[in-house]
């Protein structure tokens, strides 16, 4: 991931949180919990490359495990 994109995204996220502050004061507790869990998840995903932490993504499992098996099962392998 390009670090310029990550910094721009985090700045946009911070501005979004500032704008949402007013609406969150009136929101129900469940909405606040989901909002802050989502923000926390986004922060973890976007800051982990800077900390050299690899988060396993489901697409890697599909590409490395399921896709070769499927190609072999269908007999498409040359």
Q: How far apart are alpha carbons 74 and 46 in whole angstroms?
A: 38
d(CA 52, CA 17): 26
Are 24 and 32 a contacting pair, CB within 8 Å? yes
Look up the pTM and report it.
0.60
**Predicted pLDDT at 1:** 55
In the chain, which stretches have pLDDT less than 50?
Answer: none
- Stated as kind and residue range, the H or E segment containing 68 is helix 67-74
């Amino acid at each position: 991931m390009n670090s310029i994109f990550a910094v721009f995204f985090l700045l946009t996220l911070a501005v979004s949180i500032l704008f949402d502050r007013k609406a969150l004061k009136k929101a129900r507790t469940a909405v606040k919990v989901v909002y802050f869990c989502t923000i926390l998840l986004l922060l973890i995903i976007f800051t982990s490359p800077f900390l050299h932490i690899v988060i396993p993504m489901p697409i890697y499992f599909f590409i490395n495990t399921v896709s070769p098996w499927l190609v072999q099962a269908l007999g498409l392998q040359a």
